[in-house]
Amino acid sequence: MENNKVTEISSDTFLNHGTLQILDMSGNGLKKIEQGTLDALSDLTYLDMSSNNLTYIEPLSFSQLGDLQTIKLADNELIFFPKLPNMTNLKSLDLSNNLIRSFEIAAFTDFDGNKKFKTLTLTGNTDIGCDCYLLETMTVVKSIITDGECSSPVGLAGISLDSSSSGSLPHFLSADPALFLCSPYHVNAVALSGTSIAVTWTRPNNSVSSTSYLPDASTTPWQYYVFCTDGTVNANAVVSSGTYTYTFTSVDGIQTETEYICAVALHDGSSLSAYGSPAVVTTQVGSITPGGTPGVSDWVLPIIYYDFSVTDSDFTGYADTIISKPTYVPSPYGAWLKRSSNPSFDTFSGWFVDNPGTNMALNDTIILTADTGASVPTHRYATNSYFPIDGQGYGDQAKDCYAAWHNFGFTTAIRSGFIYQGNETLTVGGGDDVWVYLNGVLVLEVITRNAGTSIPCKQIDISAAATSGGATITPHYGTVSGSSCIITSTVPSDAITLELEVTSL
């Protein structure tokens, strides 16, 4: 695959290629390696992604590649390199001619005592931020480093990491350890909207490498220097000790649909540390425009799309778990669903909840068009192509069967009420799983898995719910034809007991 025009790879690119041992993608246009992209390549021994446009490799990107012997990432634009797992067979890592400014904490710590790892090439990387964590991890591989140079803090500018210069100055092993200030870690950046980014971080235990924890009362002189950049515009802030978050907005130049690199440094009252491991975030697209103009008799319902990244394990496109009869959870912030008694360990419980950093909530409306030719008042929404947030949220991250890019990774919630007249029938169907609740009672569930080529639908006549004391109502099952549900059977196992009061909401 070398010397082509490949610009991106996704989590499904290498599925079913678990026995691949050599992967050469040098000379392409790759920009980023996301966590999970390479996980399927568990037998890989040789990886060459040199001469691309790589700027960032997400942490844990190499976590499943324990058999690698050679990694070539030279001649890219990497600003950061993640921690490597315990690769007992790794012999060589070439990071030459990049723009590396930081390494993840404990990047090479697992190689302590490793006899096979012989070469770590950092030639051309002269802008490395040297904090206390880098001192610790580079000491582990001190005998195999070729080139590499610190540029910050100021007191370490020009200090070499090269093993051959270890016997002379300036060299990192000979420098004063107190100069390797500890930077903030666990830096995270979340796009709260199209023009706002919240950056959070964890304070270091001490200003220098130490096993002791410096109490908060002793960190009063500390300040945190925060920045986010898109490569052109730099947003900067200085935050006092005791505060571990800052939000940049449009006032700082934050723009929609733009990728930002954010990092934080520590000023201990006298010196500024290197900027630590960065976080990368892409701001949301601006507000979506409600689609269509409703007619006088049409119904307009509020709808929220919860968009998830393709890197989310629930939205890779390959999840096959059937979720049946989830529990309805009422909430003043919008009812949601769960499928276990402990939602904190159940990712499904986050499918219909606005959770910045995990998903993006996009508000819109949906129009149920009045069918003026129907014998009874009927409102319906039907479409053969349901891609309501293409180009929105996390963007179009997967292709359909015709190689067209779309945004597939979202859930949809309509939370609305109606005045019960005592003669309503509800019908739903389509290519995705659907749950319909009335007053917290699950009245319709459509599961699309194992439906074959037909598109399932269900219908329930709730007129009997007007009966005093309620009534047992059995839904009907059918398949979608055009914009109608053609009923074929009843579903006794889905029967429900429901009582509704006529003219009530």
Q: What is the pLDDT of residues 307-363, one digit of tens each?
A: 988 888 888 876 677 888 999 988 877 888 988 877 677 888 889 998 888 888 888
Single out the residue of 238, 221, 225, 209 nearest to residue 265, CA to CA: 225
Q: What is the pLDDT of residues 64-112, one digit of tens each?
A: 888 999 999 999 999 999 998 888 899 999 999 999 999 999 999 999 8
Supply the pLDDT for residue 332. Answer: 78
CA distance 470 to 487: 25
CA distance 359 to 309: 7
Q: Sheet harboring 359-370: ordered strands across?
A: 379-380, 359-370, 299-308, 410-413
Taking the model in full, what pTM does it have?
Answer: 0.62
CA distance 458 to 433: 11
Find the helix or strand (DSSP H, E) in which 30 lies. none
Q: Measuring CA to CA, how many Å separate 120 from each of 59, 116, 152, 377?
A: 19, 12, 21, 73
Q: Which tokens hold the place of 29?
A: 């246009």
CA distance 85 to 63: 6
Q: Which regions of the chain are under pLDDT 70? A: 11, 166-169, 285-292, 318-319, 343, 373-375, 450-452, 505
CB atoms within 10 A of CB 217: 8
Supply the pLDDT for residue 156. Answer: 92
Supply the pLDDT for residue 382. Answer: 85
Supply the pLDDT for residue 298. Answer: 86
CA distance 473 to 416: 22
Q: In CATH, which superfamily holds the domain spanning 1-180?
A: Ribonuclease Inhibitor (3.80.10.10)
Side-chain-side CA neighbours of 286 within 13 Å: the count stands at: 6
For the chain, domain boundaries:
1-180, 185-282, 299-498
Supply the pLDDT for residue 374. Answer: 67
Supply the pLDDT for residue 502. Answer: 87
Q: Measuring CA to CA, how many Å separate 230 from each of 234, 281, 310, 343?
A: 7, 10, 22, 36
Fold that domain 185-282 belongs to in CATH: Immunoglobulin-like (2.60.40)
